[in-house]
Amino acid sequence: MKRSVGCGVLILLLAACTAAPKRPTVQKPSADTVEGLAAAIAADAERSDRESDSKVRDELASQASRDAEACLTRDPQAAACLYGHAVALGLEAKAHPTRAGESLKNMLEALTSAEAADPNYDHAGPARVRALVLVRAPGWPLGPGDGDAGLVAARRAVVLQPQYPPNLLALAEALAKTGDANGARETYGRARDAAQALPSTAGRDDWLRAADQGLQHK
């Protein structure tokens, strides 16, 4: 399954949003099932990650939101729909930065529900995405960002799926954010090793690049 992460980032006097790099190239299945709708949301998120035109990002956020609603209508308790709803809210935060605070708050609530439904969904995606939101979002009192809580969530994702490189990358980022430079360096190295052990894909290349960038910045 392919997933992408939207993450709000307010700035001192500014407001904007960024997204984590994730695996590209999703074949969009028929959007009349939970799986199809979840995949459609993921595809919108991946496109949004690479899209520089704010109007297109706005359209993608709207489409993802409609798909999430449709998914939740079909199965309100499905981890795929709850997680997709969270991703759609992340896209909304990205498209409408001045409303990012509320969107991110709702996103975290949706991730809580998704994690309760299936903590291993998308390789511990709910905990991983929660970690990234908490680490990257503006902190108190401007937004929900909380480096300490982000670190806890990242550790949880790694415990659940220790060999999945994005979980290790999220943990490394959380360690760096909370001041553990040595831990961050070691974890970026683990992420790199884990990615290298996987077959060559575009996703693997993204993860290797992210690990290398993290190692260079430490």
Q: Which residues bind another protein (CB under 8 A)?
A: 9-18, 54, 97-98, 137-143, 145-148, 177-179
Please state whether 25 falls in left (phi above 0), alpha (psi between -120 and 50) or beta. left
- Which of residues 90 and 145 has its CB atom nearest to another protein in the complex? 145
- Which of residues 131 and 195 has its CB atom nearest to another protein in the complex? 131
Tell the smallest beta-carbon distance from residue 145 to another protein (Å).
7
Tell the smallest beta-carbon distance from residue 129 to another protein (Å).
18
Closest to 115 measured CA to CA, from 74, 159, 147: 159
User: Using an 8 Å Cβ cutoff, are 189 and 215 in contact?
Assistant: yes
- Which of residues 138 and 214 has its CB atom nearest to another protein in the complex? 138
- Which of residues 27 and 98 has its CB atom nearest to another protein in the complex? 98
Contacts of 97 (CB under 8 A, 6+ apart): 8, 10, 15, 16, 17
Contacts of 157 (CB under 8 A, 6+ apart): 124, 127, 128, 131, 164, 167, 170, 171
Tell the smallest beta-carbon distance from residue 144 to another protein (Å).
10
Tell the smallest beta-carbon distance from residue 54 to another protein (Å).
7
